[in-house]
Structure 1
Amino acid sequence: MSVLRNTLTQSTWTLGSRLLGFLRDVVILAKLGAGPVADAFFTALMFPNLFRRVFAEGAFAQAFVPAYSRTLEAEGPEAAEKLAEETLRGLFAVTAFLVVIAQVAMPWIMILLHGGYRNDPVHFPLAILLTQITMPYLSFMALAALLSGVLNSGGRFAMSAAAPTLLNFSLLIGAFIGGNNYEIARSLAVAVSVAGLLQVILLWYGVSRQKIRLRLGFPKLTPGVKRVAALAVPGTIAASGMQINILVSQALASFETGAKTWLYSADRLYQLPLGLVGVAVGLAILPRLARAARSDDQVQSQSVMDNGVGLAMALTVPAAAALMAAPFLFVDSFFTRGDFTSADAHQTARALFHFGWGVPAFVLIKVLAPGFFAREDTKTPMAYSLVSVGVNTVLGASLFFFLKSQGMDGFPGLAIATSTAAWVNAGLLFLGLGRRNWYAPGAPLLRRLASVLAASAALAALLWYLAARTDLIASYTLDSKFLAAVVIGFTGLFAYGVFALVFGAIRPSELKPARKG
């Protein structure tokens, strides 16, 4: 199965989940607005988003899949099933213990994550309560990640990609339960943990359909579990860098009322290409890279990486161009309603612009890291990830407090730091692969990247022109900003398809495997 076909399978389901997620966020922002209650809820939601992205969107799976696949090929299905069950038990025990500790320590943890509200007698306790309610999602996401890894190792991508839609459905229901925003925030927090349980049930069913029987029980530190842990712990930390950076940014943002909500709203928009492309390509190329590494097939490894990087950049550089060329257009059209005002949209657009130029780096991290994971080297990406966390923390705090000292908003500095740290991480991964002679981009890829930049520049110019005429376009779309944005978006999508073919960013031959699927 081709990289493109696997990517399309993953991305199609992810697209549905992300579109549903947009509807979810529109409803939540309209209900809560941008203020102390919303900041408290989005603080609580940071944990589910962190664990979903770290575990469910590939980090744990990228460490677990090579070990599981090697056992499956070398020792057979029974040994692989035993390894999965032993790992499942150990993972559940560890994460359940962490949940209990976090519940008890949450008042002190919240001082770090929500310190700007520590003297607020109403909203600081609210943030503690909401986060305690959402914490069980950690255990559920860990289990879901392992179950997804088992499915992905067998070439089954659809169910693991579909599972996150349950979180969106649950939150949509929760948003309509409660008479005021405090009650709504509590019902939303409950919906998060309920969604985690539903995801585990769905994926467990999917695994059982593959004739793989897994059971929870008392954990044992077997050699197989030790081997998976040796890979998974550094690998999970490695893939957590960007999420830790977001956590740091959100903690600093608590010192500006509304900033957490603005950053969260911007995050939802720039995470779309990351989820659709970066995660999907990373998951699609990992099994093929692992097989090439085991057979020492450098030609195949080079081809898979070139295809992965080329496809990822052909799809994400234009997304970055769109977010930078018309950030306010998309934020205002999608999110401005109810208690979320046009002023909030302007603030969100400022953050989105700076997140935009980091999007290619966010995606490259997801595509380059499997080059290490496939060879069961998870410690090197972990080290690079920790460096990026240091860069983000120092630069983010410096910019945030410098801008505030100058009488300006500090939160745009946090977005700048997050994108800068992502480029540092991606650069280190690229250099690390090169030093080990594991990967160097071929000449055709470099030519293709130049074509992608040219096509994306043309797209950015077109979108900037159209965004400046939003009111005129809206006059032909029932005076709806939302419909105008949709028209502009689809115009840009069609135009980029033309630009990409003209400049050679995407080749028609690449679409053949997808049509055959």
Structure 2
Amino acid sequence: MAEPSKAPSSHLRSAVVVGLMTLLSRISGMLQSRLLAAFLGAGPAADAFFVAFRLPNLLRRFTAEGTMTSAFLPTLSETEAQEGPEAGRELVARFLGTLAMVLLLLCVAGILLMGVLTGLLMMGRLSPGAPLGQQLILLGQVLSGTRPAPEDLILTTALGRIMFPYLALVSLTAGLAAVLNLKGRFGLPASVSTFWNLAFMVFGYGCMTWVPGAAQDPRRASFFFALAVLVGGLVQLFVLWPTFRTLGYGIQWGFFWRHPGVRKALKRMAPGLLGTGVHPINVFVSTFLASHLAVGAQTVLFNSNMMGEMVLGLFSASVATVSLPVMSRLVDAGDMDGLRDSLAGALRGTALLAIPASVGMAVLARPIISLIFQSGRYGAATVAWTGDTLAYQCVGLLFIATGRIVAQCLYALKDYRTPAYAALVGLGANVLFSALLMGPLGTRGIALANGLASLAGLSVLLPSLARQMPRIPYARVLRGWGGMVCASVPMGLAVWLGGRFGGLGTFHGFWGMALRLFPLIAVGSLVYFLAILALRVPEGNMMLGMLRRKLKI
């Protein structure tokens, strides 16, 4: 098997830096999720919190690291290459200033319309089992005040109004992070989620400890956790600001629609609103459908989706973060061979962890969920429910990761329409698959539908990429994937046997589970690493070389 080029090697090294920072974020995120599970459980208050939290998180993919970054970063790279650094600084200041003003207006509108938004998401709670038309009539009566609103809808609306300004904070943070990434500063932007998690936990746990009655009442606790979301958003913005200013950048508040760079970036964002947003749109659909399932379904889906995002964020999103500025520079330089190498390296690099992590997490889904969530009000039955849903979530992780990388390549080629078309196909597929599967499988069917929808979206992305970049390195990518799948088989068998002999089917408390699970994960990782070396997968040798250099062996 041919040795990979230097571009994929550089890709992998940069992605490892981001991945390590993201690993810290995911570990702190696990602790944050455990805190929520202990005090909110999986009842009405937890469902209300997670539905309300999904609204700014859904929109952040459009205004933050998704569409905004994919349109803004190539435009900034192009401006600096053609007009110089000073023009780039002006574009940054005016684009982010325009974005900030738009976000403020959007937040005001979201707060005013929160009752409508949460009503649509929670419509299944108005009259479970009723036809859609009847539920719409009931929602209209609730919004007009002629019918009393259910308590869980009132709580969801109140929490949504508190948390919605987080959209502005996280979007500006993503804008600053995009600039730092373009300048090769990947580590600090990747660490902001860790600061968010830490700030959330300190503020949230402090309220549970010092505010009388907060820990005993899940509904009251949910309000303090909603405030903790905003505290975390402020902290992560302040973490990036000093470095952003040190590099000579700033923000100029106002509406700069006539600035050519701002206009070009916004124009590129328009078709990308659906392209990058396919996954959050599918999550929105899942949230609506889950409102027709039993109480706790929203919490179960949120937690299982969060665990899937942990895998995607740990390495797949890291590769995507690194690949966009690299691919943009290659396109600007007219280096199509380098772009092919970069794409192949990104697709193989993202699968290097996504494939074994999907297998391992599916096999150990229940023990992993019990370690993270089982405490306080989050009991064994909910753990089993979440674990089964997570196993189905794992099926589509590679498809979602691949779609993100291919979309990044299209954005670097200045194609923003194809991802939008792919999003429409994926959205339709998600609705269809969810409707077909949620009846017999419940939350498992909705989780599986998300992955299948991403596969449908890929069927649109790849042919378009082939037209714009002939000779896509399919063979090189598939050879790597094949080796990684083969290496995952003995790993999956090893962790399955270890789980059975280690008694992971029974809950042994947090430390008891941790002392059993973490060594087993380490053994599985070692088995996988040795397997990819034995199969001569080039990325294995890269990792071994990096490890030797770090340890100076």
Q: TM-score, length-normalised on structure 2? A: 0.87
Instruction: Determine helix, strand or coil for the equivalent of 1:37.
Output: helix
Number of residue-to-residue matches in the alignment: 511
Alignment-mate amino acid for residue 442 of structure 2: G
Match of 1:406 in 2: none
Match of 1:145 in 2: 174
Moved more, 258-267 or 470-479: 470-479
Alignment-mate amino acid for residue 20 of structure 1: S
Distance (Å, rounded) in 2 between the aligned partners of 1:95 and 1:213: 17
Moved more, 107-116 or 63-72: 107-116
Match of 1:79 in 2: 87
The yes-or-no answer on 1:195 pairing with 2:225 is no
Alignment-mate amino acid for residue 412 of structure 2: A
Match of 1:123 in 2: 152
| 1:299 to partner: Cα distance | 1.3
Distance (Å, rounded) in 1 between the aligned partners of 2:265 and 2:516: 50
2:465 paired residue among 429, 433, 439: 433
Distance (Å, rounded) in 2 between the aligned partners of 1:451 and 1:152: 31
Moved more, 291-300 or 5-14: 291-300
Distance (Å, rounded) in 2 between the aligned partners of 1:31 and 1:308: 40
Match of 1:63 in 2: 71
- 8 Å contact kept, 1:93–1:219: no
The yes-or-no answer on 1:509 pairing with 2:528 is no
Q: TM-score, length-normalised on structure 1? A: 0.93
Cα deviation code 1:151-190 (max 9, x no counterpart): 1111111221111223212321343212421221001111
Match of 1:492 in 2: 524
- 8 Å contact kept, 2:316–2:351: no
- 8 Å contact kept, 1:99–1:139: yes
Distance (Å, rounded) in 2 between the aligned partners of 1:204 and 1:478: 37
| 1:516 to partner: Cα distance | 6.2
Distance (Å, rounded) in 1 between the aligned partners of 2:424 and 2:200: 32
Cα deviation code 1:453-487 (max 9, x no counterpart): 10012211222222222328999999812321112
Distance (Å, rounded) in 2 between the aligned partners of 1:472 and 1:196: 36
| Structure 2: tracts of 5 or more residues without a match | 1-6, 128-148, 208-213
1:315 paired residue among 349, 353, 360: 353
| 1:386 to partner: Cα distance | 1.9
Distance (Å, rounded) in 2 between the aligned partners of 1:477 and 1:126: 32
Could you say if the C-alpha distance between residues 332 and 78 of structure 1 is closer, same or farther in structure 2, counting changes exceeding 3 Å? same
Distance (Å, rounded) in 2 between the aligned partners of 1:218 and 1:470: 61
Cα deviation code 1:357-408 (max 9, x no counterpart): 11111111221111101111111111101210111122213332x33xxxxx
The yes-or-no answer on 1:263 pairing with 2:301 is yes
Could you say if the C-alpha distance between residues 364 and 234 of structure 1 is closer, same or farther in structure 2, counting changes exceeding 3 Å? same
Distance (Å, rounded) in 2 between the aligned partners of 1:382 and 1:451: 32
Distance (Å, rounded) in 2 between the aligned partners of 1:57 and 1:514: 31
Distance (Å, rounded) in 2 between the aligned partners of 1:318 and 1:14: 18
Moved more, 197-206 or 61-70: 197-206
The yes-or-no answer on 1:16 pairing with 2:1 is no
Identity of aligned residues (%): 28
| Structure 1: tracts of 5 or more residues without a match | 404-408
Distance (Å, rounded) in 2 between the aligned partners of 1:57 and 1:204: 17
Match of 1:238 in 2: 275
1:166 paired residue among 195, 220, 225: 195
Distance (Å, rounded) in 2 between the aligned partners of 1:469 and 1:503: 28
Matches within 5 A, 1:151-230: 151-176=180-205, 177=207, 178-179=214-215, 180-230=217-267
| 1:201 to partner: Cα distance | 2.3
- 8 Å contact kept, 1:147–1:203: yes
| 1:324 to partner: Cα distance | 2.0
- 8 Å contact kept, 2:17–2:187: yes
| 1:56 to partner: Cα distance | 4.7
Distance (Å, rounded) in 1 between the aligned partners of 2:101 and 2:377: 41
2:456 paired residue among 417, 424, 447: 424
Match of 1:278 in 2: 316
Could you say if the C-alpha distance between residues 290 and 183 of structure 1 is closer, same or farther in structure 2, counting changes exceeding 3 Å? same
